[in-house]
């Protein structure tokens, strides 16, 4: 996956919308993210059709279950040939290590990158304090999950770009930060709470940005994508 290109979140529920969107980018090789909505709608055949168009896939299924179940599921996901997969760090170190074992066992050659979700970018400090019962700032919880993820041997984390610099300082420059919660100054936040622009995310140390609705719901998706590419890569 080329880190200079944003990862487009393909949050569609049917093949017409999906391929109508991708057709606008004909001839370009994209980084795309397939999440629960699209995967539950179309499964492996959708992955294969997207890959046949030359795009690299981050399969964002956020596995979170007992270690044995996650290990066996990861062995199957490894065979899809996607570039990146993930788990929830809240599943714990044993579960994350099991995910890595499963991925290595199921990979034919190069294994996909494996990252964990720390605190969702739709979570505010208040929600975390009141609903999850975790005291303190979101950053403290994110750092704790990032350190646990590193100890389990994974490649990096999903976090807000607001936390990327602190994670790099704590876990090292090679530990990946994959950051949704990206909005242009002109975009609406939707349900995202911890947001940044592509340019600021780049300066803060994000390795990859993930952008969905600002592109997929734009009147001109290709122009908005290009604007985000130049905002993001212009800072690198």
Ligand X SMILES: O=c1ccn([C@@H]2O[C@H](COP(=O)(O)O)[C@@H](O)[C@H]2O)c(=O)[nH]1
The binding site for substrate consists of 11, 33, 60-69, 121, 183, 192, 212-213
| 194 to 223: interface string for ligand X, x by CB under 6 A | ----------------xxxxx---------
| 88 to 107: interface string for ligand X, x by CB under 6 A | --------------------
| Strand, helix or coil for residue 96 | helix
Active site residue 60: yes
Specify the stretch interacting with ligand X by CB under 6 A; choose among 15-23, 113-121, 125-133, 222-230.
113-121
CB of 8 to ligand X, least distance (A): 9
Give the span between the Cα atoms of 93 and 199, in whole angstroms: 33
In sequence order, the β-bridge partners of residue 115 are: 86, 156
For residue 67, state whether it binds ligand X (rule: CB under 6 A). no
Question: Which structure tokens are listed for 112?
Answer: 């996909």
For residue 9, state whether it binds ligand X (rule: CB under 6 A). yes
| Strand, helix or coil for residue 230 | helix
For residue 120, state whether it binds ligand X (rule: CB under 6 A). yes
Pick out residues in 16-55 that bind ligand X (CB under 6 A).
35
Whether residue 102 contacts residue 78, with contact meaning beta carbons closer than 8 Å, is answered with: yes
CB of 43 to ligand X, least distance (A): 17
Pick out residues in 167-196 that bind ligand X (CB under 6 A).
180, 190, 192
**Is the CB of 88 or the CB of 168 nearer to ligand X?**
88
For residue 121, state whether it binds ligand X (rule: CB under 6 A). yes
Question: Which structure tokens are listed for 34?
Answer: 């397939």
Whether residue 82 contacts residue 60, with contact meaning beta carbons closer than 8 Å, is answered with: no
Give the span between the Cα atoms of 51 and 34, in whole angstroms: 11
* DSSP conformation letters of 119-173: S-TT--HHHIIIII---S-HHHHHHHHHHHHHHTT-SEEE--GGGHHHHHHHH-T
For residue 162, state whether it binds ligand X (rule: CB under 6 A). no
Active site residue 207: no
Question: Which structure tokens are listed for 73?
Answer: 């599921």
Q: Which of 2, 17, 23, 60 is catalytic?
A: 60
Binding residues: 11, 33, 60-69, 121, 183, 192, 212-213
Active site residue 236: no
Nearest CA-CA partner of 44 in 8, 80, 87, 86: 80
What Cα–Cα distance (Å) separates residue 162 from each residue in 138, 150, 201, 204?
10, 19, 8, 7
In sequence order, the β-bridge partners of residue 158 are: 117, 178
Specify the stretch interacting with ligand X by CB under 6 A; choose among 115-123, 131-139, 140-148, 223-231.
115-123
Catalytic residue IDs: 60, 62, 65
Binding site for ligand X (CB under 6 A): 9, 11, 35, 117, 120-121, 158, 180, 190, 192, 210-214
């Amino acid at each position: 996956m080329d880190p200079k290109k944003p990862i487009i979140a393909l949050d569609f529920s049917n093949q017409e919308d999906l391929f109508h969107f991708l057709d606008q980018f004909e001839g370009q090789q994209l980084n795309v993210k397939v999440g629960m909505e699209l995967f539950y709608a179309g499964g492996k055949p959708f992955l294969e059709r997207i890959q046949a168009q030359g795009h690299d896939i981050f399969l964002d299924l956020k596995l979170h279950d007992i270690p044995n179940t996650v290990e066996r599921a990861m062995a199957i996901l490894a065979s899809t040939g996607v570039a990146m997969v993930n788990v929830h760090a809240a599943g714990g170190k044993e579960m994350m290590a099991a995910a890595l074992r499963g991925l290595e066992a199921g990979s034919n050659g190069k294994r996909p990158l494996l990252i964990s979700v720390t605190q969702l970018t739709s979570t505010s400090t208040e929600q975390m304090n009141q609903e999850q019962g975790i005291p303190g700032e979101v950053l403290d919880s994110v750092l704790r999950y990032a350190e646990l993820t590193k100890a389990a041997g994974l490649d990096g984390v999903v976090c807000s770009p607001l936390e990327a610099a602190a994670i790099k300082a704590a876990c090292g420059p090679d530990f990946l930060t994959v950051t949704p919660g990206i909005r242009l100054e002109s975009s609406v936040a939707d349900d995202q709470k911890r947001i940044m622009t592509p340019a600021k995310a780049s300066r803060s140390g994000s390795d990859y940005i993930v952008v969905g609705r600002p592109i997929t719901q734009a009147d001109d998706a290709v122009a908005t994508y290009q604007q985000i590419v130049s905002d993001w890569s212009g800072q690198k």
